[in-house]
């Protein structure tokens, strides 16, 4: 079983990815962690600042290639990994972990490299969300509303979608 979790920053991709992979008994990869390990960075901010956005996105795509060829896995992409998302094969179940923009704004989702220095971070957050949301919806096999009340509850919703498609 191949599963890719996508969604905006703060949607729970890493937390739910670890939970789902544990339940399914498959290996978990966090694309951010893979990139950090590959290049020896201590944080995504450091990698992003060193590479710049264009190269950073290219390196995400490089890092996803070996994972995408494995027989089973759960992978969590970074919130802006739209280029890497294009590298995900069609046989992968892509789950969009959806969180409404208003929730993200109320939680002051930050600091993320794209708007860490923005003069109006909420404006930048809104702009990024509006750019990415349609891409996530179009590519997703399933959309799961993440309520962030309980990892178990959100995780079970993800499993229900996955098992529904795979008949298990």
Tell whether the model's pLDDT for residue 123 goes beyond 50.
yes
Contact 144, 154 (CB under 8 A): yes
CATH number of the domain residue 51 falls in:
3.40.50.300
Contact 145, 95 (CB under 8 A): no
Lowest mean per-residue pLDDT among 16-25, 88-97, 101-110: 101-110
pLDDT in tens, 127-160: 888 888 999 999 999 999 998 778 999 999 999 9
Structural domain harbouring 122: 2-166
Find the mean pLDDT for residues 26-34.
Answer: 96
Select the highest-mean-pLDDT range: 70-84, 106-120, 153-167: 70-84
Per DSSP (E only), the strands in the chain are 2-6, 28-30, 73-76, 93-98, 142-145
Number of domains in the chain: 1
Cα separation, 4 vs 167, whole angstroms: 18
Q: What are the distances in angstroms from CA 152 to CA 10, 82, 110, 136?
A: 17, 27, 24, 23
Neighbours of 133 (CB within 10 A): 16
pLDDT in tens, 1-26: 999 999 988 889 999 999 999 999 99
**Higher per-residue pLDDT: 166 or 149:** 149
Phi, psi of 81 (to 5 degrees): -80, 50
The pLDDT value recorded for residue 109 is 60
Tell whether the model's pLDDT for residue 97 goes beyond 80.
yes
User: pTM for this structure?
Assistant: 0.89
The pLDDT value recorded for residue 156 is 94
The pLDDT value recorded for residue 166 is 55
């Amino acid at each position: 079983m191949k599963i890719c979790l996508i969604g905006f920053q703060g949607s729970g991709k890493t937390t739910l990815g670890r939970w789902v992979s544990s339940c399914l008994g498959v290996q978990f990869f966090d694309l951010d962690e893979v990139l950090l390990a590959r290049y020896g960075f201590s944080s995504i901010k450091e990698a992003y600042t060193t590479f710049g956005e264009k190269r950073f996105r290219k390196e995400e795509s490089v890092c996803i290639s070996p994972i995408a060829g494995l027989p089973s896995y759960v992978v969590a992409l970074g919130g802006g990994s739209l280029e890497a998302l294009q590298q995900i094969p069609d046989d992968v179940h892509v789950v969009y972990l959806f969180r409404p923009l208003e929730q993200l704004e109320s939680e002051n989702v930050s600091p993320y490299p794209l708007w860490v220095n923005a003069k109006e971070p909420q404006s930048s957050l809104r702009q990024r969300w509006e750019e990415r949301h349609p891409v996530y919806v179009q590519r997703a096999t399933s959309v799961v509303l993440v309520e962030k009340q309980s990892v178990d509850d959100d995780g079970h919703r993800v499993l229900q979608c996955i098992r529904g498609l795979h008949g298990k």
